[in-house]
Copies of this chain bind each other. A is one copy, B any other.
């Protein structure tokens, strides 16, 4: 077993100003590569505390990853702590300085004088240039093991890990084979999922693990298999995936990065079809999700966020009498919104959402959390009622997932029956 300890530096983590997402991200990436995180420590921007934690960690684990405190301000003490603690004086690296200066120049600015400290490297460390920021990473490999130092800004940390650090760690000898896979599900809660997977325990042990990861968009299942060889790992993983597939059927959306919006995009491309959406209660979040997929312009025509009822009437063609009679949160309005946006924006398929996000606006008949989701294509238009209670943002996310899942299941049927479509 190869062990790692993570040291995350920053007063803002201790004071609860920032949630330590870096530790979770690093933990998942290392675990996926057979490196077991044995301990995580959060320490303030204090050289003495950093030094103590660093000594403890290096005595304990072959891999130590330390992040945060590499910024240019006087609060950032990591560089100085490393130099003092490991007795490795800081040296200015002219090449690194040139890269930092270039980073500013590309953005039309000159480098502030204080960023100069970011070109200081403790003796013996290899600097890892940062393409998306000014704080370089640092790598040391000595008799105590590997010490990696990374900036604390999440997207900088992730870029450096992916591009430079993980490939280097994968070269280290002695890691077990680890296979990991995430199964994305939709339209089924955590307890129902557990009930459907009853009996899966017989396939699990210390080397084959299953974790339920619920979020507002659905529950993901994380499968982790450790084995002496790739072949054995492949076999155990396959057995587990097959068991789950048989039990959950069409609630399985895809694997790993195949989220609802990605799979909906794949199906639309396969059908050579387009989609448009009309949103009331989701307020733009459904369009936002769809356009998070690079290349969405190939199949996503657009959205009308009809927050005001006059916009539902003027732009989407909802009938004023229907609005008045049934109310905005109704089956009839959801259907007319979907039909209207489909015609107006010239798409093959259309979705609509209308509901009560809260915290105000609920009634006994239509409590906060009620939402109608409509779907229209050339042949049909219908709406389904859902009840998705929860805080405002969570409601928008759950309603968005329900809409995407409704379309996904509809497209799956179309894809099974039709080779191509015309509007």
A residues bordering B, Cβ < 8 Å? 11-21, 23-31, 36-44, 49, 53, 72-74, 107, 112, 115, 132, 153, 155, 191, 194-195, 201, 209, 211, 213-214, 222, 224, 279, 282-292, 294-297, 300-308, 310-311, 314-315, 344-346, 357-360, 387, 390-394, 396
Contacts and interface: CB of A to CB of B under 8 A. Distances in A.
B44 A28 contact: no
A28 B17 contact: yes
B302 A308 contact: yes
A15 B39 contact: no
B306 A302 contact: yes
A296 B392 CA distance: 12
* Residue of A23, A27, A53 with most chain B CB atoms under a 10 A cut-off: A27
Contact of A291 (B16, B27, B283, B394): B283
B392 A292 contact: yes
A15 to B, nearest CB: 4
B41 A40 contact: yes
Contacts of A290: 283-284
Nearest to A295: B360
A132 B389 CA distance: 10
A168 B294 CA distance: 48
A297 B304 contact: no
B38 A14 contact: yes
A198 B301 CA distance: 48
A393 to B, nearest CB: 6
Contacts of A191: 72, 112, 115
A279 B283 CA distance: 13
Given A112-B191, A392-B292, A311 B301 contact: yes
Given A38-B44, A345-B311, A283 B294 contact: no
Contacts of A44: 38-39
14 contacts: A13-B27, A13-B40, A17-B222, A20-B20, A23-B42, A39-B44, A40-B42, A153-B214, A155-B394, A291-B305, A296-B307, A301-B310, A303-B304, A315-B344
A398 to B, nearest CB: 12
Contact of A14 (B39, B284, B345): B39
Given A14-B27, A16-B25, A31-B16, A304 B307 contact: no
Contacts of A359: 294
A311 B346 CA distance: 9
A392 to B, nearest CB: 6
Contacts of A291: 283-285, 305, 307, 357, 396
Given A13-B27, A38-B44, A303-B303, 12 more contacts: A16-B27, A39-B44, A39-B53, A40-B41, A72-B191, A112-B195, A279-B284, A291-B305, A294-B360, A302-B308, A314-B345, A315-B344
A284 B288 contact: yes
A27 B306 CA distance: 40
Contacts of A209: 11
Contacts of A19: 19-21, 24
